């Protein structure tokens, strides 16, 4: 059975794009970025890299990678958002940088 799709993409469309399951494990990623995660439980504290932090203001959720700074309000929902913000990358650039972008060969 075939469907009549709009022509956008057409037949040359190849499988590529963001693969969320290829994102690094948050705990390992934040460690690699030089963050010292303090505390127990799901939310850890760390020195915020987005402002001149003197006490751990950044809260990081270790299972999802979500983060929020209580001082400068930098925040995001995963390590990709963190990577974009920290390195000033666009979505695709950050995804590629983290190895979470798959292109057809
Ligand atoms: Zn901050």
Q: What are phi and psi of 45, to 5 degrees?
A: -105, 150
Q: What are phi and psi of 61, to 5 degrees?
A: -90, 120
Ligand 1 centre and the CA of 24: distance in Å?
Answer: 22
Ligand 1 centre and the CA of 36: distance in Å?
Answer: 14
Per-residue pLDDT at 9: 47
The answer to whether residue 69 scores a pLDDT higher than 70 is yes
82 SS3 class: helix
Q: What is the rounded CA–CA span in Å between residue 20 and residue 24?
A: 9
6-51 pLDDT per residue, tens: 555 445 555 679 999 999 999 999 999 999 999 988 899 999 999 9
98 SS3 class: coil
**Residue keyed to tokens 């003197």:** 54
For range 82-87, the mean pLDDT: 98
Q: What percent of the chain has pLDDT over 70?
A: 84
Per-residue pLDDT at 4: 55
59 SS3 class: strand
How many alpha carbons lie under 13 Å from residue 89 in its C-beta half-sphere?
16
Q: What is the rounded CA–CA span in Å between residue 61 and residue 44?
A: 6
Ligand 1 centre and the CA of 105: distance in Å?
Answer: 40
Q: Model-level pTM?
A: 0.82
Ligand 1 centre and the CA of 72: distance in Å?
Answer: 4
For range 92-98, the mean pLDDT: 96
Q: Which domains does the chain have, with CATH numbers?
A: 20-98 (3.90.580.10)
């Amino acid at each position: 059975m075939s469907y009549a799709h709009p022509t956008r993409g057409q037949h040359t469309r190849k499988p590529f794009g963001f693969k969320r399951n290829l994102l690094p494990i948050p705990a390992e990623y934040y460690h690699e970025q030089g963050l010292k995660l303090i505390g127990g439980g799901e939310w850890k504290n760390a020195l915020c890299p987005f402002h001149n932090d003197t006490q751990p203001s950044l809260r990081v959720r270790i299972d999802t990678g979500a983060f929020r700074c209580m001082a400068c309000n930098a925040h995001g929902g995963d390590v990709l958002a963190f990577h974009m913000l920290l390195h000033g990358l666009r979505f695709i650039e950050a995804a590629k940088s983290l190895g979470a972008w798959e292109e057809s060969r």
